[in-house]
Amino acid sequence: MNRPLNRGVRLLTGSGIANGSNLDRIATTMSDPRIARMATAPVVSSQCDATVQRWLSEAQAASGSLDAAYNVWLSHVTGRGSAPHRMSLSPGDVHIPTIDQNIFVLYQNRDFIADMVMPVVNAAKLSNFIQQVPVAAMQSVANTRIANSRARPNQVQWTVDNSLSYNCIPLGLVDYIPQEILDDADSTALKSTAIYMAILRSFMDLAREVNVAAEVFGASNYGTNTTALSGADRWDNPSSDPIQQLLQYKESVFSTPNVLVMGGQVWPQLMTNPAVKGYISGRASTKSGAVPMQVALETIAELVGVDKVIVGRAKYNSAQEGLTAVSDYVWGKSAALLRVEPNPDPLMTETFGYTYRFGGKAYRNEVIPDRLGGGMGGQYIKLSTFEDDVVIGGANTGYLLTTVIS
């Protein structure tokens, strides 16, 4: 048999079993809905008196606040205190995780500069000689004086050098996708050959970047036009003056450089160099207008007197295969002043170098069906080209600075 708790309250109030003042306080606050609920809740008859006494005693000890008393009482009644009632279902009961079709993450280098430094040009044949007039011949001072009115002008002497050549070799990568993988893939991205082609292109572009960087920052391509900086001359040394160095070395190049190329590690040191910032803050204005708040590529280009500054930020894994990956810069701690002609004139061109590509400037991409492989065949994804990176002008069109930072 159940009986209401208010009877127990009255009973305990009269018998003095619990603290009288506390029970009087509870009794006088019966108008509060929480007290009313406590007082009218049914309990088991056999447990009534002892249960009520214990609950009220614990409520009194809880700090004397009405909130605390109610929470203690609720914990006895529900077994969960004041925690809200939870539904029995969990997220795992209503959803089975699968592939999110709204995103496919692919990390790629997006700062390749090979095409800006050694532009791609069409190769008419797989291999050919490249004709050039030697610089020495063009530096000869000819005698232009005609001896008399009957004499003929002096005949100039010059030659053509045919020793330079290009030899386009086949380059390419391939990926194979079994048809059952394409059919069974949950990801929409992996059902399309476009993602596989993009991955191949990323590998191809990185390989080209590494090859071109080796040519541009290869000291053997500059003859005597190369200097290894050290000590106080390095650009991360506060005593160095990179602008003065670049202006000096620029004058050593026969064909005036129009591009400054540097590695991604070098640029932060150059833009924060005290001497460089001093050149900028000391100027009333620049070609672009007011003095900039921070050093920009265009600002350095103006100071050095080149058309543009190019920073190579691409990275590659420099660790040996099988070891923990090490992310390193493709373009190292060097800088080069170069003459670059992005659109070569077939008749008169002076440039540091070109990438000769046979069969068109773009990569050749193919999706080749395969009916023999596996149980359902598949598709080969192929990206290929024929090309050769050729240094043409060398020391006549560039100056290399190595170890420009520590």
Contact 215, 356 (CB under 8 A): no
Give the integer Cα–Cα distance in Å for 401 and 406: 13
| In the chain, % of residues over pLDDT 90 | 51
DSSP-derived letter for residue 378 is E
Banded pLDDT at 340 (limits 50, 70, 90):
very high
Banded pLDDT at 356 (limits 50, 70, 90):
very high
| pLDDT of 200 higher than 60 | yes
Phi, psi of 203 (to 5 degrees): -65, -45
In this structure, the number of other CB atoms found within 10 A of the CB of residue 81 comes to 12
Average the pLDDT over each of 99-113, 220-234, 243-257, 285-299 and give the range with the smallest value.
Answer: 285-299
Q: End-to-end distance of the chain based on CA atoms, in angstroms?
A: 90
Averaged pLDDT of the chain: 82
Average the pLDDT over each of 171-175, 318-322, 381-385 and give the range with the smallest value.
Answer: 318-322
Please state the rounded mean pLDDT for residues 126-139.
90
Query: What domains lie within the chain, and their CATH numbers?
Result: 2-78 (no CATH), 114-137+146-402 (3.90.1690.10)
pLDDT for 74 equals 60
Tell me the pLDDT tens digit for each residue of 16-56. 334 445 445 554 544 556 555 555 555 444 455 565 556 55
- Type and span of the H or E element at 181: helix 179-184
Residues paired with 89 in a beta bridge: none
Residues paired with 379 in a beta bridge: 177, 369
Angle at 338 between CA 335 and CA 341, to 5 degrees: 145
Count of alpha carbons within 13 angstroms of residue 91, beta-carbon side: 1
pTM check: above 0.75: no
DSSP-derived letter for residue 173 is E
